[in-house]
Amino acid sequence: MNKRHILCYGDSNTWGYDAVSGGRFDDDLRWPMQLARQLGEEWLLAENGVNGRTTVFEDPINEGLNGLTHLVPAMLAHAPLDLLLLMLGTNDCKQRFSATAQNIADGLRRLIAKAQSLAVWRQEPRILVVAPMVIDARIYDTPAAAGMGAGCAEKSHALPALMAQVAGEMGCDYLDSNPYVNPSPIDWMHLSPDSSVPLAAALAQKISQMLN
């Protein structure tokens, strides 16, 4: 097996949700595909983003979105893994989960522990925690507010620091996506199309530092 395997595990901002069309960004535009291009031929990258996915919470309205439940088959499918990239937490901010920012960070901790325990690694577990883009408070003036609910923006702004702490305590690498991305002005919670290239470049640089 001559390629190193990376699994990108996330939500709609990994899937490539386009807030303008309500569909998906083109293959060449999504940040995982940009990352694959920048990493080069020695890497085999798997996209695994699902709209609405949480860290560990069961959605009472939409089934199949618990990130913990689906982590095991996703990792097994792409084993042996050299790197797991986790970018989750935005959907956990929904009012219907009644979760605090600390609860969300604890969910991330549980997800990391599960990933580290699986016999899917080529060598030792290597996990890159990516803090998702924070939700801009202007979401409350858009239709997206109905699905996210009160307090979503405020909770999301607390996540980068908490996730950095969890990553450090769990022996993971960490990157805050926020210096490299911009929100779509349609809903203020999904990545703008021009975020893909700078985010991928930052991730490629970080991964190179980690594994080379």
Q: How far is Cα 181 from Cα 131, in angstroms, rounded to an integer?
A: 11
Cα dist from 160 to 2, 68, 89, 122, whole Å? 35, 20, 10, 29
Average per-residue pLDDT for the chain: 96
Indicate the angle between helix axes 196-211 and 31-39, nearest 10 degrees: 40
Tokens of 185: 């002005």
Q: What is the mean pLDDT of residues 79-84?
A: 97
- pLDDT tens figures, 60-75: 999 999 999 999 999 9
- pLDDT tens figures, 88-107: 999 999 999 999 999 999 99
Q: What is the mean pLDDT of residues 176-201?
A: 97
Q: Is the pLDDT reported for residue 176 higher than 90? A: yes
Residue type, 129: V
Which residue ranges form the domains of the chain, and what is each CATH number?
4-211 (3.40.50.1110)
- pLDDT tens figures, 4-16: 999 999 999 999 9
Percent of the chain with pLDDT strictly greater than 70:
100
Binned at pLDDT 50, 70 and 90, residue 212 comes out as confident
Alpha helices in the chain (DSSP H): 12-15, 31-39, 67-77, 101-117, 145-148, 152-169, 196-211
Q: What is the pLDDT of residue 86?
A: 98
Q: How far is Cα 119 from Cα 111, in angstroms, rounded to an integer?
A: 15
Residue type, 201: A
- DSSP code at position 46: E
Q: Is the pLDDT reported for residue 197 higher than 80? A: yes
Q: What is the mean pLDDT of residues 31-54?
A: 96
- The whole model's pTM is what? 0.95
Q: What is the mean pLDDT of residues 137-151?
A: 96
Q: Does residue 59 contact residue 65 with C-beta atoms inside 8 Å?
A: yes
Q: What is the pLDDT of residue 127?
A: 98
Q: What is the pLDDT of residue 1?
A: 59
Give phi and psi for 116, each to the nearest 5: -70, -25
Question: Comparing C-alpha atoms, which of 52, 152, 148, 164 is closest to residue 108?
Answer: 164
Q: What is the pLDDT of residue 58?
A: 95
Q: How far is Cα 55 from Cα 66, in angstroms, rounded to an integer?
A: 6
Collapsing DSSP states into helix, strand and coil, what is residue 144? coil
Percent of the chain with pLDDT strictly greater than 90:
98
Residue 183, preceding peptide bond in cis (omega within 30° of 0): no
Q: What is the mean pLDDT of residues 165-194?
A: 97
Q: What is the mean pLDDT of residues 116-120?
A: 97
Q: How far is Cα 13 from Cα 88, in angstroms, rounded to an integer?
A: 9
CA quadruple 34, 39, 40, 41: dihedral sign: negative
Q: What is the pLDDT of residue 211?
A: 86
Cα dist from 29 to 16, 25, 38, 139, 205, whole Å? 8, 6, 13, 24, 19
Q: What is the pLDDT of residue 34?
A: 96
Q: Does residue 45 contact residue 122 with C-beta atoms inside 8 Å?
A: no
